[in-house]
Structure 1
Amino acid sequence: MKGFLLTDHKAKIRYHDLLGDGPPILFLHGLGCSSSFDYPQVAAFRELQQHRRILVDLLGSGYSDSPENFSYSMAAHASCLEQLIEHMGLDNFYLYGHSMGGAIAISLAGKCEQRLSGLVLSEANLDSGGGLFSRRIAGHEEGGYLESGHQTMIRNARASACEEWAVGLEASSPVAVYRESKSLVDGEARSWRQILYSLNIPRTFIFGQKSLPDPEESRLKANGINIEIVDNAGHSMAWDNPAGLATAIQRGIHFAG
């Protein structure tokens, strides 16, 4: 695992950099997760093996540092990743983001569009208001969430047989999870949807089959966005069907040409 020091925050982002001769793919994970946990199996499938695959743990998640003075907003994460991209000298690469990571990927794409060959999203947050879990988390005051809410979320994840998310939450900073949830609920002045529609690069949006029907499917198609579907999977498609997700990502890359 490699690390990059963000001097402004005195904190390191850590990531796996898996070798491949093909164009790089930068992976961004969802709320309470980490790329180091979610994506090694996805990245190992034949469909993606020819690519250089960069699996990033966002600040506050996985093996990356968790500075308490960081805002953990989607825009702040995107700014840190922009520095990482500059540090790595990435050009002509693909950006993949899931759920919260999709909102960050969209924000990042708006900053580095000229470097991107394409954007692939899976069930990304596109508007303010958050999702089921981010709304539940953001409904607390920060102090209350840190005191007991985070442990309650972990217990509830285990009780609902979602061991993977419970493990991810345990490895995440409660401060990060809370502030990320608030950022997803509050949104930004320019929505992630508006940025997505304005991008002049190939864009793919992936749904898990079990998440359908969803009115977003036709709405996104109408705005020129390619749609892919992962069979036998819901929102947590990297866990439900990693081979299917790898295939969908590759199709998104093929769509980008």
Structure 2
Amino acid sequence: MRELFLTEARGFVRWLDLPGGAGQDTAGGAPARVFVHGLGCTGASDFAHIAVHPALPGRRRSLLVDLLGFGLSDRPADFDYRMESQAAVVARILDHEGLTGVELVGHSMGGAVAIRLAAARPDLVDRLVVAEPNLAAGGGAFSGPVAAQDEDAFVREGFAAMVAGADRADYAARLRLADPRAVHRSAVALVEGAVPSEGELLAALRRPRAFLVGELSLPDADAERVAGFGIPVLPVPGAGHNMMIDNPDGFALALARALA
């Protein structure tokens, strides 16, 4: 576990740094992979088993980021938890580590963060793979109901009810590590959206991109929209939105194709 203190946020962001194979971690080696989790999740829970999966081409140095407010990162009370702010935090990590041209992978909310990072700092990202990211205002099945609640009420009661009522035990376990205020502000940001939208930014990016979608999520309007941009859309068989958990082997195979 590594950490970096962010003066502007007055807190530490933390990430797992998994070493690559021989010759992969030195200057001139293969680019690092950076993984960004979704709402209420953590880098390790969602991607540790993916980062070391034998289906991925080459054993690369992999950074599994816990976004501010989630996992083992700090929970600054005055941070806005918007996608562009989280993207700036991930950029600070990459600058701190001296990394450029990474392979960036983001799921759900983390996909929106990854898109904003690739758009704002093209020097940092060589390839981008997003898995069912938030592409427009309106939120999703998790963020919409959260954003509809008052922030203080959600912190007092709504968060505990959300954890208790989670229909997946694995999601409840990940969610318990999140800060309630961070969850609420993130959800509000996803529902409100931003201009330009993540979908518009994704369409405009000039670098290799791919979109992963769970087979059980199909038909999916975002996948159809992205395909219209000429971006490869790769399904993960037998999986829904939580595709890294539902079918790790299928997700790793799809990711390997996306990075090929």
How would you bin the TM-score normalised by the shorter chain?
over 0.9
1:52 to 61, 73, 94: 61
User: C-alpha displacement at 1:51, in angstroms?
Assistant: 1.4
For residue 104 of structure 1, what is the aligned residue in structure 2? 113
Do the aligned partners of 1:82 and 1:111 also contact (CA within 8 Å) in 2?
Answer: no
For residue 88 of structure 2, what is the aligned residue in structure 1? 79
- d(CA) in 2 for partners of 1:25, 1:53: 5
DSSP-derived class of the 1:246 partner: helix
- d(CA) in 2 for partners of 1:219, 1:183: 22
- d(CA) in 2 for partners of 1:68, 1:44: 34
Q: Which runs of 5+ in 2 are unaligned?
A: 25-29
- d(CA) in 1 for partners of 2:201, 2:237: 28
Is 2:11 the counterpart of 1:11?
yes
* Count of matched residue positions in the alignment of Structure 1 and Structure 2: 251
Is 2:89 the counterpart of 1:90?
no
Aligned-partner residue type, residue 70 of structure 2: S
DSSP-derived class of the 2:135 partner: coil
For residue 165 of structure 2, what is the aligned residue in structure 1? 156
- d(CA) in 1 for partners of 2:144, 2:41: 17
TM-score scaled by length of structure 2: 0.94
- d(CA) in 1 for partners of 2:75, 2:238: 34
User: C-alpha displacement at 1:115, in angstroms?
Assistant: 2.8
User: C-alpha displacement at 1:169, in angstroms?
Assistant: 1.2
Offset from partner CA, 1:7-64 (integer Å, 9 cap, x none): 2222111111111113211100000001121111111211235111110000000011
TM-score scaled by length of structure 1: 0.95
User: C-alpha displacement at 1:116, in angstroms?
Assistant: 1.8
Offset from partner CA, 1:134-153 (integer Å, 9 cap, x none): 01000001011011000010
Aligned-residue RMSD, C-alpha: 1.1
DSSP-derived class of the 1:65 partner: coil
Alignment of 1:34-45 (within 5 A): 34-45=42-53
Is 2:73 the counterpart of 1:67?
no
Is 2:196 the counterpart of 1:187?
no
DSSP-derived class of the 1:188 partner: coil
1:123 to 132, 151, 175: 132
Offset from partner CA, 1:124-170 (integer Å, 9 cap, x none): 0000000011010000010110110000100111xx2x011101111
Aligned-partner residue type, residue 93 of structure 1: V
- d(CA) in 2 for partners of 1:178, 1:198: 29
- d(CA) in 2 for partners of 1:246, 1:2: 25
Higher helix share: 1
User: C-alpha displacement at 1:218, in angstroms?
Assistant: 3.0
- d(CA) in 1 for partners of 2:88, 2:136: 19
For residue 27 of structure 2, what is the aligned residue in structure 1? none
Q: Which runs of 5+ in 1 are unaligned?
A: none
